[in-house]
Amino acid sequence: METLPDSTPTSNMEVIIDKTRVIKIKKKDIRPKTNITTPVQDGHLATQNMIIPEDHNEIINIIIEKSYTELNTIMDNWCKNHEENFSGGKMRNDRGEDIENFVKNVVYMFQALYGVNVYALKGADDKKELILHHKDKTLKKDHQVDIHIYKNDEFIAVIECKAYLDSCYYVRACDDFRLFRKFGYNIKQYIFSLENSIDLNTKAFTDAINDYVCDDIFYMLDGKRSSNKPIYDKQHKKIINKEKLVYFITSLQKLLV
């Protein structure tokens, strides 16, 4: 019996697992529609007309400060929307969209300020087609997580984005990560979450049975999530832990620069 290769598969690769099952892996890589040397301009992280310093320490500090401001602005907007009685469904959708856009924009900050060929795509626009030939059937699955990251046009990492991470969300994320690994994608797999709501025993068990497919979790707020004290309610809004944000940014720096 053979195992899947460690390297990221090419679009025409076939991997024989055993005598009765063949897995064919096909990538659907979608490049950005804009020139990758131009940062995205949506949100507060745009770098247009900015004087870019040559010192790398100054650059990383700029990214940290802009990210800190942006995340605070996002949370302030949630509180404002809550006060204006936005529906629960819209609030949930906005939170998910805002966090994905935040992570995506941080990647483009690295692109703009370091001048590196990196970019981030939403997984919904960059689905990977997994094809499984099993006996007389061909099974297909379009697979993605929230954010897919590329460096020099190579798929290098994914980030699942959550307003809070509980046990069910973590199990599902690890299932998604495990599929990437099973089909030969040699990528880093992360979770970005504002709040922690996961049971430690469940996390340990999930990690063990999934061979530790999650490389890291980045929490931005202290303490456990409380459904009775939502952070989009101004009286329960939490302060961003800047040390945790710095850890997230510097981890991306190691990955992207």
Residue 89 pLDDT level (bands cut at 50, 70, 90): confident
| Model confidence pLDDT, tens digit, residues 218-228 | 999 999 999 89
What tokens were used for 172? Answer: 């599902």
CB atoms within 10 A of CB 172: 13
121: left (phi over 0), alpha (psi -120 to 50) or beta: beta
95 CB-near residues (< 8 Å, 6+ apart): 78, 163, 232
| Model confidence pLDDT, tens digit, residues 12-27 | 343 333 333 333 344 4
> Which of 57-66, 84-93, 162-171 is the least confident region?
84-93
Distance from the first to the final alpha carbon of the chain: 38
| Model confidence pLDDT, tens digit, residues 59-74 | 999 999 999 999 999 9
220 CB-near residues (< 8 Å, 6+ apart): 71, 192, 193, 194, 195, 240, 241, 244, 245, 248
> Radius of gyration (Cα) for the chain, nearest Å?
20
What tokens were used for 109? Answer: 């900050």
Nearest 5 degrees, angle CA 149-CA 174-CA 140? Answer: 75
| Residue whose structure tokens are 């650059």 | 59
- Distance, in Å, from the CA atom of 162 to the CA atom of 191, rounded to the nearest integer, reads 8
Would the pLDDT of 49 be above 70? no
What tokens were used for 163? Answer: 């307003």
Q: Which residue has the higher pLDDT, 199 or 14?
A: 199
Residue 148 pLDDT level (bands cut at 50, 70, 90): very high
Global confidence as pTM:
0.81
What percent of the chain has a predicted confidence (pLDDT) above 70?
80
Closest CA to 147 of 118, 171, 167, 114: 118
| Model confidence pLDDT, tens digit, residues 99-144 | 999 999 999 999 999 999 999 999 999 999 999 998 899 999 999 9
- Contact between residue 121 and residue 27 where contact means Cβ atoms under 8 Å apart: no
Question: Going by DSSP bridges, is the β-strand pair 128-134/154-166 parallel, antiparallel, or unpaired?
Answer: unpaired
